[in-house]
Amino acid sequence: MEQISSFEIWYTFFFQLSSVWIALFITFSALFIWRKNLGVLGHLCNSPIGLVGLFIVLFWVFGAIFADLVALFEPFEQSGRYRRKPPGTINAELGIPYIFGTDTLGRDLFSRMIYGSQIVLLIAPAACVVAYVVGITLGLPSGYFGGRSDTILSFLANLVLAFPVILLFYLLVAPGVRETMLPNIMAGVFFLFPIAFALMVVYSRFSERLNVLIPSFIIIILVGSWLYSGLVFNADPLGLVQIDPNELNIFAAVVFASSPGVFRLVRGLTMDIKTRDYVAAAMTRGEGPFFIMIWEILPNARGPLIVDSCLRVGYVTILLGTLGFFGLGMEPESPDWGSMINQTRSYIRLVPTIVLPATLALASFVLGLNLLADGLREESAKD
């Protein structure tokens, strides 16, 4: 079969990513022009490590956004004639090259890698956001008030963290567990926290202004109930919010495993910050505890939380890849990176490059998040 040269492979690769390069150029141009008004993000312009990390992360973000423009083939399109072909093999019928070759079912590895970024960038950050909401909602009052509730919550967090992570995930996402109601119960509990946190934020700000407080509560409860019914019970009356049961199971497992670490971090920061002078000044003004937690303590804890969030998203990405590698992740046909590695690893002796696209994608994205976290940590230390 006809193949293109190595130079043509890389030329096609960079050409297909034209929309990504343009988006990156616009983003970094805007970053340098308005860096003085962008706060922590603008400070990254002074950190070469942080800029490299941001570049890598945004590369995959824009790759996921423009996947339909970047990919050469459909991610599930099979061709028995082009099974396990090396990079650069040309599809004779279409005249289009398989940039990184094909897998054992004749699917384009480059296109599956690009579409796989959508899955990774949807589940990992979203699960971390919910985990942070859970950890913040429990960690702020636990660290601020202390007492028996703090002791109980700290014990439960340490109990979950004492489990080996891989074993914990296996217990939560094993095929037998997926068929039970446990994922829905876990998701039902975790998705209550964003609603509770939103109510807490509004109450802390407008507790004495009932004309604003009551309508805000009604809106939050109505919108929250709509999202809750769609995400947890797959019963959205409008049909706009839906999630696959398998994705819900993985999502709930990630939140369950990540929340205790966030809780401990937020609790420790709260116990430290509540002793500062500006918190004492807020108490002197007569501010309530919820106002102090949300508007005094939480903003001043943002630096460590932002750095930790970058590391945690990378950590969750590795976990998702590990689950996919062991066949416990998404559905077998899914193009997520862990499943791609699992599906192709048996043929590495026949086609040594067959596992490289998904492996390098996973490694580069996690590396970008770690470099971004290092850059943010450097700039936070300077402040």
Cα 160–Cα 163–Cα 165 angle in degrees, nearest 5: 100
pLDDT in tens, 298-355: 988 888 898 898 889 988 888 888 777 777 767 767 888 888 888 888 888 888 888 9
Q: Is the pLDDT of residue 220 over 90?
A: yes
pLDDT for residue 203 is more than 70 = yes
Check: CB of residue 147 under 8 Å from CB of residue 277.
no
* Percent of the chain scoring above 90 in pLDDT: 39
The predicted-structure confidence for 302-316, as pLDDT tens digits, reads as follows 888 988 988 899 888
**pLDDT number for residue 198:** 93
* Whether pLDDT at 103 is above 80: yes
pLDDT at residue 63 greater than cutoff 70: yes
pLDDT band for position 182 (cuts 50, 70, 90): confident
Q: At which residue do the structure tokens 């929250």 appear?
A: 224
Dihedral of CA atoms 234, 325, 171, 366 in degrees, nearest 10, equals -80
Query: Residue 12 has which token pair?
Result: 């096609």
- For the chain, the distance separating the N- and C-terminal CA atoms, rounded to the nearest angstrom, is 59
pLDDT level of residue 376 (50, 70, 90 thresholds): confident
Return the top range by mean pLDDT from 103-107, 132-136, 328-332, 377-381.
132-136
pLDDT of residue 336: 85
Largest Cα span, the chain: 79
* Residue 288 DSSP class: -
Q: Six-digit token pair at 380? A: 């936070």
pLDDT number for residue 209: 87
Placement of tokens 């990630």 in the chain: 254
**pLDDT 10s digits, 242-295:** 777 777 888 888 888 889 999 999 999 999 999 898 888 888 888 889 999 999
Answer whether residue 383 shows pLDDT above 60.
no
